[in-house]
Amino acid sequence: MKKISISLMPKTGAGKWSVGLGIAFVVLMALSLLVAAAIGGDPTVTVGNPLFPILSVTLSLAGLLSFFVGIFTIIKHKEWSVCVYLAVLYGLAALMFVLGEFLFPH
């Protein structure tokens, strides 16, 4: 029987990418919340400003890539890292948000 060792940080390159994308997702989410608080919900600020769509797309891509790279790392490389599993959870939250936007448009 093979012994499984659980570590905090990933050992594979793909695991490190997943964790890095998860960290980027958290930082971009914090930046997005700060920008939303700074503009105070004023819709006239967002019209025609290219910063908001770019921030939204990079936030979504960082989360989705974190999820898919993390799942790939867990399945293929048998990565047992706490940080990779956290990155997959962040990515799963982003995936649920993106799926919700497409399945239930408002």
Instruction: Please state the pTM of the whole predicted model.
Output: 0.88
What's the chain's Rg over C-alpha atoms?
A: 17
Q: pLDDT at position 31, please?
A: 93
Q: Mean of the pLDDT values across residues 81-98?
A: 95
Q: Mean of the pLDDT values across residues 82-87?
A: 96
pLDDT digits (tens, 9 = 90+) for 23-77: 999 999 999 999 888 888 787 888 888 888 899 999 999 999 999 999 999 999 9
Q: Is 78 exposed, middle or buried (0-12, 13-18, 19+ CB in 10 A)?
A: exposed
Q: pLDDT at position 5, please?
A: 82
